Amino acid sequence: MLVNLLKISIPTALAFFLGLLITPIVTHFFYKYKMWKKYGRNGHVAAEDFHRIHNDNEELNTPRVGGIIIWASVLLTTLLFYLVSIFLPSESNEKMNFLSRNQTLIPFFTLLIGSLIGLWDDLIQIYGHGRFARDYSSWRKWKVFLVAFISLLIGSWFFYKLDMTSVHIPFGGEIYLGALIVPFFMLVALAVFSGGVIDGLDGLSGGVFASIFAAYAVIAYSYNQIDIAALCGVISGATLAFLWFNIPPARFYMGETGIMGLTITLATVAFLTDSTLVLPVVAMPLVLTSGSVILQTLSKRWRGGKRLFKLAPLHHHFEAIGWPSYKVTMRFWILSVMFAIIGIILAVMSR
């Protein structure tokens, strides 16, 4: 037990401190090359309430690619323990390596691939001048297609390589899906990705994702999936390092290079721990945020343009009714921790 706890806690702490160390270096490049949006894409909310609470000058002068700190810290930490186990072989070093084919190889590469695609999107927003740089709606469709394609590959791997054919129902056994596990994973991945709109206030997304991955570290540990627990811990630690510099006033934003990698990886981890149906509880802030956008869209379409919320996503609604942004952020953090704890209890007790 002590070895397993060390295998989780030491990489988690290392990822956090590595993130703190590399941040000044990468931040220098963020500002040197002016890695922020030069103009807003069309398709964003144009309501008066939005412009009242939205500081365009601040957004257009703050780097968008802060998520690099998260996946770079995870990459460095993972490779360090892996290379030590290879070049300094010993029983203890091999035990500390958490990059394993049966548990963490897929979520690790999912994080990197999703993050690199997200970085591409961020760079288009920063330096692009063509259609995709300005047309938010068109590029959003391409992002959905890319997420669907990546999740198709991952879902196929689950089915054909890992023989995953069923989903665990808390307190209710298993539901057999067979080959339908592939489209089901695609649906879950797209749903989680839609929650990425939570990256809208200083410190908001960092605190929420750190809580979610910390919860899955505990869930994986309780299922004796120690490598997954270690990877989730590392992601949580790296996200906290990002959050250290993202609290108001933010030195940078997470951007798609953080959001895309984290959301697809989260869906992957949920499937690998067979706790998919607990995911909406653990990630309730993402559910509420994404759901508010969906409900707002449906309300406008079916109620003659009437809005259900003053603004969507939900965090902007609370800003519009007068809550300071820092209060919205901290209350979302509280909700995130609370639902993470509830999700852990459900996951552990339902086995």
pLDDT in tens, 73-92: 999 999 999 999 999 999 99
The alpha carbon of 303 is separated from its chain's Cα centroid by a whole number of angstroms, namely 33
How many distinct structural domains can be found in the chain?
Answer: 1
Task: Report CA-CA distances (Å) from 162 to 102, 165, 248, 304.
Answer: 8, 9, 43, 48
User: One-letter amino acid identity for 61?
Assistant: N
- What pLDDT was estimated at residue 237? 98
Task: Report CA-CA distances (Å) from 159 to 149, 156, 162, 165.
Answer: 15, 5, 6, 6
Would residue 327 count as lying in a domain? no
Q: Is 184 exposed, middle or buried (0-12, 13-18, 19+ CB in 10 A)?
A: middle
Would residue 222 count as lying in a domain? yes
Would residue 83 count as lying in a domain? yes
User: One-letter amino acid identity for 99?
Assistant: L
**Overall pTM surpassing 0.75 (yes/no):** yes
- What pLDDT was estimated at residue 56? 55
**Residue of 198, 334, 216 lying closest to 266 (CA atoms):** 216
Would residue 162 count as lying in a domain? yes
Would residue 323 count as lying in a domain? no
Would residue 48 count as lying in a domain? yes
Q: Does residue 108 contact residue 79 with C-beta atoms inside 8 Å?
A: no
For residue 176, give the DSSP letter.
E
Would residue 86 count as lying in a domain? yes
- Residues of the chain whose pLDDT is less than 50? 41-46
Q: Give residue-wise pLDDT tens across range 308-342.
A: 998 889 999 999 999 999 999 999 999 999 999 99
What is the CB neighbour count within 10 angstroms for residue 199? Answer: 25
Would residue 340 count as lying in a domain? no
Give CA angle at 263 (11, 266), nearest 5°: 55
The mean pLDDT value of the chain amounts to 91
Residue 201, domain extent: 2-278
